[in-house]
Amino acid sequence: MPLLVKDYTWTQTETTVYISVPLKGVKSGRVDVLYTDEFLKVSFPPFLFEAFLPEPVDDERSVAKLGNGVAVFTLLKKKKGLWKHLSKDIDKSQQRQIREEAVLKTQQRAVENSKVRAMKIQQDKKYTLETMMKFEEEERARVQRMKDEECARASAELEAWKEKQRKVSEEEEERPRLQETCVMHNKQIHKHRHTEKTCAVKPAQNNSTMEGQISGRKDKLKDPPPPRSAGCIKISFTPRVFPTALRESRVPEEEEWLRKQAEIRRLANSDLSELNDLKEEEKNPDWLKDKGDKFFRAGKYQAAVNAYDLAIKLNNHIPALFSNRAACHLKLRNLHKAIEDSSQTLELLTPAVSENAASRLKAHVRRGTAFCELELYVEGLQDYQAALKIEPNNEALQLDAKNIREIIQGTIHQS
């Protein structure tokens, strides 16, 4: 049989009841509290305190606090007035019924609270998913705009080049005709001068002879010599790996970059005897990278991280693996890991050449984003400025850098 607590104290006002129950040296973690609008129980074996309240209270707004060796209850009355007793006198059958109803009410309240928590978690997940989808949609739209602008620019340049080539071709076709016309004109002038001299030396020549000579010249003019055949000069150039003109390129840096790429390919084909338990395709870093990319696009960021991890174990000299894993860590809010992977990406993308410019831009933006999420705005601004040096006309980067600069200067308030 439990020992009933008799040394409790209670006070009241017309709207509130205050009850203090000593815990007899028992720790708060071993105390079981149960209360409804008509019943209050504090159990801490072997002690027990029960109160069958004479009037109902608001159990939703009432408060129980445990600490310093005492349990304090603040019960709000539903009806104003003073109670004569804290617990009413009822028989054992009524007490048993009230206890059972209290247990049922407590269980129902726990189930409802669990449903509310589950609904709130579901709503939070839904809101997070919608926010991420919106962000990804905006990112895809921004990338598509950049692609469209680049495509339009390339199309305009191609049309201009075609027009220039057409004009050059027309000039090339016109040049032989002009040369032929000039030659014929010079011959006519020469023959005309020769005829005048002949007429001056032989004035007694009859008209019929002169007419025959003139008709002969006309017959010759009707059959001009054929144009010269066109020639074709073949010019061969040594192909360059980089699209930049040699006078604008940095040859030592480009050669260093090509050497690194060759080293990556050599490592990709190296012996993988320590990973014999993997399937054949799982030993290919490129296959694992594609797998991770598919997981990322499907929103399975942790699975993508696992794929990139294995690919990095196979070959840790591929910058794209670290860069893509940094993007996954950003989605998973692993901000310090995102900074580490972005830094490793930039280290592998040295020297800085035109071929790896786009990859360096992504790495700077991802590291800058992680810094800003950690409220390290100065470091984040440095990365965005480095990205702008690679692509100065990117409006989105310009706007982001401006916003970060304003945060540093304190001109906008963070929510």
- The domains located in the chain, with CATH, are 3-89 (2.60.40.790), 280-409 (1.25.40.10)
Q: What is the pLDDT of residues 220-279, one digit of tens each?
A: 545 566 677 666 776 766 555 555 555 555 656 666 666 666 666 555 555 444 455 556
Q: For 61-75, 266-280, 365-379, 394-408, which range has the lowest pLDDT when averaged over its residues?
A: 266-280
Q: What is the pLDDT of residues 158-196, one digit of tens each?
A: 888 888 888 888 887 777 777 677 667 666 666 656 565
Q: What is the pLDDT of residues 30-62, one digit of tens each?
A: 888 887 888 888 888 888 888 888 888 888 888
Percent of the chain with pLDDT over 90: 25
Q: What is the mean pLDDT of the chain?
A: 80
363 Cβ contact list (under 8 Å, min separation 6): 319, 323, 326, 342, 345, 346, 349
50: enclosing H helix or E strand: strand 47-52
Helix, strand, coil share of the chain (percent; to 5): 60, 10, 25
Q: How far apart are CA 146 and CA 140, in angstroms?
A: 10
Cβ atoms of 72 and 8 within 8 Å: the answer is no
Q: What is the pLDDT of residues 132-161, one digit of tens each?
A: 888 888 988 999 999 888 888 888 888 888
Angle separating helix axes 357-373 and 377-390, nearest 10 degrees: 160
Taking CA 155 as the corner, what is the angle to CA 152 and CA 161, rounded to the nearest 5 degrees?
A: 145
* Distance from chain centroid for Cα 270: 32
Strand partners, 348: none
44 secondary structure, DSSP code: E
Tokens for 380, please give them: 């984040």
Q: Which of 86, 74, 76, 70 is nearest to 21 (CA)?
A: 70
Q: How far apart are CA 361 and CA 369, in angstroms?
A: 12
Per-position b or e across 42-67, b if 16+ CB within 10 A of its CB: bebeebebbbbbeeebebeebebebe
Tokens for 232, please give them: 């074709």
Q: What is the pLDDT of residues 375-396, one digit of tens each?
A: 899 999 999 999 999 999 999 9
Give the β-pairing of 3-4 and 47-52. Answer: parallel
Cβ atoms of 335 and 374 within 8 Å: the answer is yes
Q: Letter for the amino acid at 310?
A: L
Q: How far apart are CA 317 and CA 265, in angstroms?
A: 9
